[in-house]
Homo-oligomer: A and B are copies of this chain.
Amino acid sequence: MTSTIGVFDSGFGGLTVLRALVQRLPQARFAFLGDTARLPYGSKSRRTIARYAMQSAQFLVQEQQAEFLVIACNTASALALDAIQEAVPVPVLGVIQPGAQSARAASHSGDVLVIATDATVHSHAYAAACQALNLRALEKACPLLVPLVEEGWINHPVTEQVIRVYLDEVTADATAQGLSPDTLVLGCTHYPLLRPLIEHLAPAGISVIDSAESTADTAAQLVGGKSADPDQLTASTTDTEIHCFATDSVEKFERLGSRFLGRPVGKVELIDLGG
């Protein structure tokens, strides 16, 4: 199969989703767009996020002939999935629904915690997706985690302290609401880089769910690629064709992007979406 899969994020974080996609669909061609001139989306309004996301989606479909789109950004998935689906004539998959489905599979108590950006939390998209699966979700905005990841403080004592503050707050809220959460969803594509620290600091008995992995599983099923067989995920993916585009500072993208993709991102092309 040689079809193009378009992957879109406001920045670099979505490269964690691209990484998981490449492992499952190594024969596909990928076009990744980071709308870095206008990041972060996480602190902006629905109207603005939808406008930016639609322009980005149209670029991938019209200019890059993407036949399938993955919105590798929780904020855009939470606030603009409908708008994007209306704006382009190809199937569009967001990260919220797969994340909620993985939480459903993992949770015994039926109570889950979701950590995400301000905008994702205020949209209550995870709460709605979880409720549809008969899960109760408590959402917690963690606006400092993205800047900490972008500063490269992945294993820094400050990051540990910040995660501790956020987890203490959400755990206290859960107790106050009579919830018994056993699952924590990483509701932002930057957070997988903090997964070891979050798993270390989370209360005992909490499973951590990375929506990048579950989104890639769903995408692979939809486009008929490889299964998520762990043995297959170790297959070489260095030959997979990946084209990266950014709306700002390709140098920074090239420098930071490899941290998320787990390999060099190669040459990044600067594009102008008119914003």
Residues of chain B lying within 8 A (CB to CB) of residue A48: 37, 247-249
Minimum distance in angstroms from A82 CB to a CB of chain B? 20
Given contacts A38-B275, A44-B248, A248-B44, contact A147 B158 (CB under 8 A): no
Given contacts A38-B275, A44-B248, contact A151 B161 (CB under 8 A): no
Instruction: State which residues 4-49 of A face B: CB under 8 Å.
Output: 36-39, 43-45, 48
When chains A and B are docked, how far (Å) is the Cα of A159 from the Cα of B143?
A: 14
Does chain B have a CB within 8 A of A172? no
Does chain B have a CB within 8 A of A157? yes
Minimum distance in angstroms from A183 CB to a CB of chain B? 26
Minimum distance in angstroms from A167 CB to a CB of chain B? 14
Does chain B have a CB within 8 A of A261? no
Residues of chain B lying within 8 A (CB to CB) of residue A162: 158
CB-defined A-B contacts under 8 Å, sample of 7: A36-B44, A37-B44, A43-B249, A45-B249, A48-B248, A158-B158, A274-B274
